Every structure is written in structure tokens, then in C-alpha cells.
Amino acid sequence: MTDECLRVGQKAPEFTATAVVDQEFETIKLSDYRGKYVVLFFYPLDFTFVCPTEVTAFSDRYKEFESLNTEVVGVSVDSEFSHLAWIQTDRRSGGIGDINYPLLSDIKKEICLAYNVLDPEAGIALRGLFIIDREGIIQHITINNFAFGRNVDETIRTLQAIQYVQIHPNEVCPVGWKPGDKTMNSDPIKSKEFFAAVE
């Protein structure tokens, strides 16, 4: 990984890469999604073990992301040809089948480096996940090590919280917040209303 630390609140690094979309090769840029939220997630390699469980889980929940004005984009250091072969392999045989979002090829490892998720010894990406808002600003970052996967429910919950506070700039979301739960006012006096109501 690089010495520079990418942080929330910063502009997401732009990229242009070849992706597999509906079993076709397309050139994808991050800026193509301006005006939408983006869940950009990195995974180590095609044809491995934890990775297909994550890639297919995000695909199976894609309509929920779409309903939240959000695009999902997966990235690994594999070639677009490897991505295509993985997509064309049935899930029961270790493939992922057709998925509902682009898989980007970062064979030169430039995107992994820009997002500071490349493990230099392994030469592959850690399980980084970035939620990028409509203006291209990073709002959330998580990075898991290789051996354990991420949680799609938590990604959606975090995305919903980000969207809520961006629409309601004087409110903040407490621990475990979900749509419909109480929020609190970010004013020191007004926030006491929330704490007074907590049992």
C-alpha cells in the first residue's frame, strides 16, 4: 500500500478501466456515475473462495442499491478475460454467473494503488469498500483482510445513513440507525431531547 492515506471527505480518485458488463467489454470511468452514489468494492481474485460469496451477494441485492440511486462496481487485479470466464462459470462450479453490475479489471494495479488497498506482498487487493456520494466525495471506507467477507446489510444501512444526513444536514444518526429510527439534532442543547428519550 502507498504511504498516503485516503480519507473520508476527500474526492474519490478518478479511474478509467475495462469492465465486463452483461458479458461485454466496456470502458468505465468513475465520473460516469456523477449524480449517483457508488459502492466501489475491491476483492482479491476471481475463482477464489470468499470472493464469489461477496460478488454474488451484492448482485443479488442490486435492486435495493438501484432504488437508493446507487451503482455497485467491483474491482480486482484480474484481466477482463478472467472476469468474463468467471461470469460464464456457473455458481455451483465456483463461478458467479451473470451479475447485475460491472466488474472492472485493474490488471496494472493502478486503481488499487490509488485507493490504497493493494497488498504489496501478495500483489492483490485487500477487501476495501468505499461509499462515494453524488459529488464524488468518499463518505465511508472499510478494509477487511483477505480471509473474511463483508456484510451487504451493513453496507446498505451505512448508505442509507449517509443519504439521510445529506438530506437533513442538522441531524446525525446514532449507533445502529436504520430508516425510521430516531435521529438526533447536532446542536448540543437540542441533542438532549434524543438522550432524554433513551431508556
CA atoms within 13 A on the CB side of 96: 32
90 with 55: CB under 8 angstroms?
A: no
Question: Catalytic pick from 5, 51, 112, 173?
Answer: 51
Rounded to whole angstroms, the Cα distance separating 167 from 164 reads 5
Q: CA triplet 21, 75, 7: central angle to 5 degrees?
A: 130
Q: Are strands 37-42 and 70-76 parallel, antiparallel or unpaired?
A: parallel
Q: CA triplet 91, 126, 72: central angle to 5 degrees?
A: 55
Is residue 12 packed enough to be buried (19+ CB in 10 Å), middle (13-18) or exposed (0-12)? buried
5 catalytic? Reply is no
Q: What amino acid positions are annotated as catalytic residues? A: 51
